Structure 1
């Protein structure tokens, strides 16, 4: 499936089957007044033989109860699903939140802006599952990101270039000026469709008349998985 990823613009069909390359976070709480059917964008990833569902950690600012102050649901969550907005009946249920941490304050900007879930149940075949790129990006290399802006019924695919790394180790991308609210948590891809980052911080700098776009790099995801493995081995 991965080899087809860059042949699509999101929503193109292959015969009768559509490949959904980006999803939205549909979050429900025990108190339904906090429900949010589009808290952010999301995607699935294959890594070391497992399928993970990923979005941005700061999406929790739009998917939280009043009592949530840390990276933890504290028993308030009813369900978190990753849904095809074009076909709402297609969804992936979230399992365990791997980097849940009741000791980590929910602040902006969050460090290592990944929220990584295990998946629960069967994965529909027409949802893309990305693989990590294994080699470093080079400056000027073509990249793109995918996501659902709020109130959009169709996802967007925005082309850009890799401009280097930030002091915090995030990617720095040269992308067109735009309003991308709601795309947080979407995948950032190289020209072969391999995952290089996750949509995190972006805004238009009026003073410099340029778009600042700084996705969270994949090494943050790898650190989360490594910590999970270490914690699991410690408990044995």
Structure 2
């Protein structure tokens, strides 16, 4: 009996050590990128338009971020998910290093239906599909594209948000821990275990499992008035995968 308890203890410790080491590797892996958006009319430039990331699917690399970011980073002429010839350059780079960057090419997920207004977003949130997909023109970073996870999340599984909130100081990417709570339509509700005090700016950050496989991207967040627990609503990548697969 004592021997069995020792074996169980060893397995538990080994599992905990493996988990810690895998999270440390994930934290040190270059993943986080912020959006640096510039337009032909520079008065609309936004050098810190939340987060984005690179993903690889069937040997092609794409830049991905949240669609609602365009409501904050657009020109007055842009009414829909279409740059209308206004974009000068969409660049992604780590918040701590603008010299190592990714230059995105074409917006592949243009949409003349979704209006770039908060009122439209509020009334169409359930069907909004909060992601943008770009082709990549140039990658001058050490970031290797992420891969999509094929299996669904398990109840109470830990996942990780990688990037920066607006209030995070310039420095290394942050890794924040969440627990999968439930599915609500196209979104995962994730309970915050360890995260920033202010969620603003995390939009577009990848949500990954402990192996670094993408399961979602950050769309919104809130605090429960009664429990004071913090939650993130993250867009499932199911429809993103379907969209990208139809490009190939």
TM-score, length of structure 2 as denominator length: 0.81
Equivalent position to 2:156, from 119, 137, 140: 140
Q: Which has the higher helix share?
A: 2
Deviation of 1:5 after TM superposition, in Å, equals 7.6
Equivalent position to 1:8, from 25, 31, 34: 25
Equivalent position to 1:218, from 237, 240, 245: 237
Q: How does 1:84-95 map to 2 (within 5 A)?
A: 84-95=94-105
Question: Between Structure 1 and Structure 2, how many residues are aligned?
Answer: 217
State how far apart, in whole Å, the 1-side matches of 2:113 and 2:219 are.
22
Q: Is the 8 A contact 1:5 1:193 kept in 2?
A: no
Going from structure 1 to structure 2, the CA distance change for 1:128 and 1:65 (only over 3 Å counts) comes to same
The answer to which of 175-184 and 134-143 deviates more is 175-184
For 1:233, the equivalent position in structure 2 comes to: none
Q: Is the 8 A contact 1:20 1:126 kept in 2?
A: yes
For 1:163, the equivalent position in structure 2 comes to: 181
Q: Is the 8 A contact 1:83 1:90 kept in 2?
A: yes
State how far apart, in whole Å, the 1-side matches of 2:245 and 2:56 are.
15
State how far apart, in whole Å, the 2-side matches of 1:220 and 1:5 are.
28
Query: Cα RMSD (Å) of the superposition?
Result: 2.0
Verify: 1:150 aligned to 2:166, yes or no. yes
Q: How does 1:54-203 map to 2 (within 5 A)?
A: 54-106=64-116, 107-109=120-122, 110=125, 111-121=128-138, 123-124=139-140, 126-151=142-167, 152-154=169-171, 155-166=173-184, 168-176=185-193, 178-203=197-222
Deviation of 1:207 after TM superposition, in Å, equals 4.5
SS at structure 1 position matched to 2:242: helix
State how far apart, in whole Å, the 2-side matches of 1:175 and 1:32 are.
37
For 1:36, the equivalent position in structure 2 comes to: 46
TM-score, length of structure 1 as denominator length: 0.85
Per-residue deviation, residues 106-129 of structure 1 (Å, max 9, x unmatched): 2324511111111003x2351131
Q: Is the 8 A contact 2:180 2:190 kept in 1?
A: yes
For 1:209, the equivalent position in structure 2 comes to: 228
SS at structure 1 position matched to 2:181: strand
Per-residue deviation, residues 29-54 of structure 1 (Å, max 9, x unmatched): 01100000001101100111101111
Structure 2 residue ranges without an equivalent (≥5):
1-20
The answer to which of 204-213 and 67-76 deviates more is 204-213
Structure 1 residue ranges without an equivalent (≥5):
13-18, 230-236
Going from structure 1 to structure 2, the CA distance change for 1:70 and 1:208 (only over 3 Å counts) comes to farther
